[in-house]
A and B are shown apart, each in its own frame.
Chain A
């Protein structure tokens, strides 16, 4: 039988049974759309949880000065003057696993603006510091390399500080505040970050160039810490090992000497992160399995019923000279046409539903190509298979039995 005739027959059969075709297609549309929407919600939550954890800095590495032993007395860690700016440059120039590195100095003090004052902490670093510590500029700008070089008295302020020393209608940018009696001009504000895992308010801070803090505020030459962001969370151990090696080189320590620094990673956080990721993966897997199953069963039923219902029609077609394979191919074509059109509409509807869920319920959703392909291919396959299977059964019947089918 000619392919053209076959397609003609299939299309006219779909049109003739327009309600049934529509309902069958609806089964596939809903199946595909439900799977895509479910996966979008699941993956959206997963991505949002991952980014929340990630914002705590899972790839963050701190280098602290080691406590030094002077004449049998262990000295306070922060007083150790072992970390210097040269170490930062040395790491930056020689490491292969570091993404960004910055000196860090901090200290607490009182910030004063007009008649208002607020106890806060000043943090400082180079131009990569906000990237490493996951701070983002809300308004205004970050300080420049030039400003770091000249130890300019500029700063960015956190939301808690803004709330406590400015009134609501005041624009902090351009204002000058005093921190421990040193005037700083505000050039930007920081995006709200909330509390960290230890309950510390991460918005209660002032951010300034490390040179300014080092030279003008504390008049010291050593750093309190060096902060590093590793290229990948998975390479934290390797990165730590490389840093240790480079720091020993930089400090010209021989083999008999202990490290005069200490490396700290967010191991706890990383292992938590790992287990949460794993949990989300299992959750996502079960969501998709269940929604595929439900969608699949729906499609299966309607396909099976709609083909079985047409056994008499199959009998007629056999009686007037249709061959078994013609019948089978006709139903296969019908199933393919319905499944593919239904699948495409389903993908559209699924994306629309996810977008609506995101905008109305403000749930995070994430649609991936994988979930679209998975649901489309799976539902189409089920649709085609369960269109083909009963048609095959019917096409193998003796024509007279198919004609007599009730």
Chain B
């Protein structure tokens, strides 16, 4: 394995059998990700991008092919070993946040570390606080997850994904449930994390969102059709500033109504 490569898959196949129908979700996929990359995995729904992400995240197993994560071949691992890999080497951000409801942000972020026996309660608390500070939720640590806005919830989820110092964060349509402004805010946070050295795999179907990353991998019908560095990486922070002012939009809508 080349130096700096943290993740590599070779000749990967994934086939589902639904009744008599055979679905070839992934066919002969080869991909490697180097430390510090921010990779957008793109494609329409059914293109196999989510299947790949699940396999990269050790949530699902390939039908054929090899997968090395941080120098270890994952393919031959048992369920419990995979759980340990997920616990120590991976971070997940889901479209629907998947936070525990009626639980504070801090407790949600602590959760992965609770499953790691080598981390004591003091260190756990410190790391969770640190993660929440880095996503900008310093003042909301004790807030309950279900009393937060979507953007805040996704920030908690991102804090949860980085709390175990993973080799890669895997995000599945992480901005899919958010409005444009909040999406940009989240992307700006991802960029910030990436600039601090965190590797990110980001599944999305929105080209706009993909333009915030450093590399675009396109899927179609289970195969990679293009794999290029982003032509011109856009800063999400700058994009945010270019958005029309929300308050102005609101006012322009309200005033005519009041006149009627």
Verify if B252 is at the interface (C-beta below 8 Å from A). Answer: no
Verify if B83 is at the interface (C-beta below 8 Å from A). Answer: yes
Asked if B101 and A323 make an inter-chain contact with CB atoms under 8 angstroms apart, the answer reads no
Quick one: CB contact mask for A85-116 with B, threshold 8 Å, 1 for yes?
00000000000000000000000000000000
Q: Which of B83, B100, B111 has most A Cβ within 10 Å?
A: B83
Asked if A1 and B98 make an inter-chain contact with CB atoms under 8 angstroms apart, the answer reads no
Quick one: CB contact mask for A264-277 with B, threshold 8 Å, 1 for yes?
00000000000000
Verify if B112 is at the interface (C-beta below 8 Å from A). Answer: yes
In angstroms, Cα B161 to Cα A321, docked, is 11
Chain A residues at the B interface, C-beta cutoff of 8 Å: 1-2, 5, 8-9, 12, 16-17, 312-313, 315-326, 398-400, 403
In angstroms, Cα B77 to Cα A323, docked, is 13
In angstroms, Cα B101 to Cα A17, docked, is 9
Closest chain A residue to B118, Cβ basis: A2
In angstroms, Cα B114 to Cα A217, docked, is 93
Number of interface residues of B (CB under 8 A): 28
In angstroms, Cα B80 to Cα A322, docked, is 9
Asked if A399 and B98 make an inter-chain contact with CB atoms under 8 angstroms apart, the answer reads no
Partner of A1, one of B79, B92, B102, B117: B117
Asked if A5 and B60 make an inter-chain contact with CB atoms under 8 angstroms apart, the answer reads no
- A2 neighbours in B (Cβ, 8 Å): 117
Q: List 7 A-B contacts (CB under 8 A).
A: A17-B102, A320-B87, A320-B160, A321-B83, A321-B164, A322-B115, A398-B60
In angstroms, Cα B103 to Cα A2, docked, is 21
Partner of A321, one of B54, B61, B98, B112: B112
With A16-B100, A398-B59, A399-B59 as contacts: A323 and B79 at CB distance below 8 Å: yes
- A8 neighbours in B (Cβ, 8 Å): 114
- B102 neighbours in A (Cβ, 8 Å): 16-17
Verify if B237 is at the interface (C-beta below 8 Å from A). Answer: no
- A16 neighbours in B (Cβ, 8 Å): 100-103
- B60 neighbours in A (Cβ, 8 Å): 398, 400
Verify if B116 is at the interface (C-beta below 8 Å from A). Answer: yes
Verify if B86 is at the interface (C-beta below 8 Å from A). Answer: yes
- A12 neighbours in B (Cβ, 8 Å): 103, 107
- A399 neighbours in B (Cβ, 8 Å): 59, 86
